[in-house]
């Protein structure tokens, strides 16, 4: 079984990625040390920088994930600042910002960064489009899952197995796996 170190302190991200890649015979090992995050408007340079930084620091191949919720009516907010915003104001205040908005379209974006020491990082992007619900629904998932609706249900209303069929992270990890398989 191929092993990869996934650098994240987010256990929800780690468990999702471990489940998705485990089905592909890739074992993920979690490292929670973290890395400095660039302040950028796009997730790709953040994931690329983070993967390169950690690969050089640890001197092993690593994977990182930078993800965000992009709400169209809020000009893409919270986007690359999603974790910070979720920690500071949470889902209820995001819903309050959306109270008078007719356009409830949004998308989740996940960027997987992978790097081996001495090489440039490669990134893989996955997007899933949905809507911002009118209230929090469901008890599963983490982060914005209770307010992100896909095909009539929030991610928090789905089992982790069901969410992993559709999620932005699944789509990015599929691209990563295809690339990784072509490298062997």
- pLDDT for position 1: 64
Kindly name the residue from 41, 66, 103, 120 that is annotated as catalytic: 66
Q: Which of 128, 127, 124 is nearest to 177 (CA)?
A: 124
Q: In this predicted model, what pLDDT tens digit does every residue of 46-55 receive, in sequence order?
A: 999 999 999 9
pTM of the model: 0.93
Give yes or no for a contact between 144 and 136, defined as CB atoms under 8 angstroms apart.
no
Give the residue-averaged pLDDT of 20-29: 92
The reported pLDDT for the residue numbered 112 is: 97
Q: Can you give the pLDDT at residue 46? A: 96
Neighbours of 102 (CB within 10 A): 6
Mean pLDDT for 4-17 is 93
Domains by residue range for the chain, with CATH: 2-183 (3.90.950.10)
Closest C-alpha among 178, 181, 161 to residue 20: 161
Q: What integer pLDDT is reported at residue 120 of this predicted model?
A: 97
Q: Tell me which H or E stretch contains 165.
A: helix 160-166
Q: What is the pLDDT of residue 171?
A: 96
The residue assigned the tokens 């209820």 is: 92
Q: Tell me: the pLDDT tens digits for 65-77?
A: 999 999 999 999 9
CB-CB contact of 87 with 10 (8 Å):
no
Cis peptide bond N-terminal to 78, omega within 30: yes
* pLDDT tens by residue, 117-165: 999 999 999 999 999 999 999 999 899 999 999 999 999 999 989 999 9
Whether 41 is catalytic: no
Residue range 154-179: average pLDDT? 95
CA neighbor of 63 nearest in space, from 97, 25, 18, 104: 18
Mean pLDDT for all residues in the chain:
95
Specify the pLDDT at position 38: 87
Q: What is the mean pLDDT of residues 165-170?
A: 94
């Amino acid at each position: 079984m191929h092993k990869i170190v996934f650098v994240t302190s987010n256990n929800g991200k780690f468990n999702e990625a471990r489940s998705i890649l485990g089905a592909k015979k890739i074992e993920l090992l979690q490292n929670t040390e973290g890395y400095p995050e660039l302040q950028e408007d796009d997730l790709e340079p953040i994931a690329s920088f983070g993967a390169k930084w950690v690969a050089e620091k640890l001197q092993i191949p690593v994977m990182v994930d930078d993800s965000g919720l992009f709400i169209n009516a809020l000009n893409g907010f919270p986007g690359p600042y999603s974790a910070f915003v979720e920690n500071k104001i949470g889902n209820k205040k995001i819903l309050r910002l959306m109270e008078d908005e007719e356009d409830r379209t949004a998308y989740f974006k996940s960027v997987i960064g992978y790097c081996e020491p001495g090489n440039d990082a490669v990134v893989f992007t996955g997007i899933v489009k949905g809507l911002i619900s009118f209230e929090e629904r469901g008890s599963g998932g983490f982060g914005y899952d209770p307010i992100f609706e896909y095909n009539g249900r929030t991610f928090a209303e789905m089992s982790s197995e069901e969410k992993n069929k559709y999620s932005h992270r699944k789509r990015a990890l599929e691209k990563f796996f295809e690339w990784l398989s072509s490298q062997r």
